[in-house]
């Protein structure tokens, strides 16, 4: 039997994750039974669970991949950019995010596993806001943890709204408003001083 390369294993793993994302989005965590996962992936349970210990590990891998991508975007462009990017996410991504939130509320073991991944996104958000505050961009009249919670609530609300079919016609303006809410206020006198200094 020929040896399977690491690249082939990674490709197969990615295909399983993509199909599992569709299954979890359509059926939820409980509804995405092994039979549903087999049908969605076109693979046997043995082939699926060769790559993932069990269904929980498969779901957690999806959520982890999303958290890693979010943390990268946050570090480079901020949490509002994550929100802007949601317009391009498909129902599978949104469905997994809703399922993550449901399981955080109902499954203590999942919540414990998820805490470290969530802390990566929160850490990146806090670090970026701190950098932006030092640069004079982010407001300094509100404690940083409150700004982080505000942005997290906006993200959670947006995920929920988009997943439930919220129209996106005003989304750009809404996100401009969210971004403006964390920006430093420049008073008119200060603005004139900065203009005169240029």
| CATH 3.40.1080.10 is held by the domain 6-197 | no
Tokens representing 55 are 């269904």
Q: Which residue is listed with tokens 């779901």?
A: 59
Q: DSSP characters for 66-108?
A: HHHHHHHHHHHH-HHHHHHHGGG--HHHHHHHHHHHHHHHH-H
149-165 pLDDT, tens digit per residue, is 999 999 999 988 888 88
Q: What is the pLDDT of residues 36-93, one digit of tens each?
A: 999 998 999 998 988 999 988 898 898 888 888 888 999 899 999 999 998 888 878 8
Long-range contacts for 100-105 (Cβ within 8 Å, ≥24 apart)? 100/63, 100/66, 101/156, 101/159, 101/160, 102/28, 102/29, 103/29, 103/59
Nearest to 122 by CA among 88, 156, 85: 156
Average per-residue pLDDT in the chain?
Answer: 86
- Whether residue 188 has pLDDT greater than 80: no
Cα(91)–Cα(60) distance, integer angstroms: 18
């Amino acid at each position: 039997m020929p040896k399977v390369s690491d690249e082939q294993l990674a490709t197969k793993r990615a295909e399983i994750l993509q199909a599992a994302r569709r299954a979890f989005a359509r059926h939820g965590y409980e509804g995405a039974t092994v039979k549903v996962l087999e049908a969605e992936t076109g693979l046997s349970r043995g082939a699926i669970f060769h790559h993932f210990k069990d269904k929980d590990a498969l779901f957690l891998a999806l959520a982890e991949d999303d958290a890693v991508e979010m943390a990268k975007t946050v570090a480079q462009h901020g949490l509002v950019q994550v929100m802007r990017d949601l317009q391009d996410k498909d129902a599978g991504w949104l469905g997994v995010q809703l399922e993550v939130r449901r399981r955080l509320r109902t499954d203590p073991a999942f919540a414990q596993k998820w805490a470290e991944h969530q802390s990566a996104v929160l850490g990146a958000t806090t670090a970026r806001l701190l950098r932006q505050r030092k640069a004079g961009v982010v407001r300094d009249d509100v404690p940083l943890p409150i700004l982080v919670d505000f942005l997290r609530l906006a993200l959670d609300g947006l995920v929920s709204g988009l997943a439930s079919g919220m129209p996106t016609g005003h989304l750009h303006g809404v996100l401009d408003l969210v971004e403006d809410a964390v920006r430093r206020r420049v008073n008119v006198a200060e603005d004139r001083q900065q203009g005169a200094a240029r």
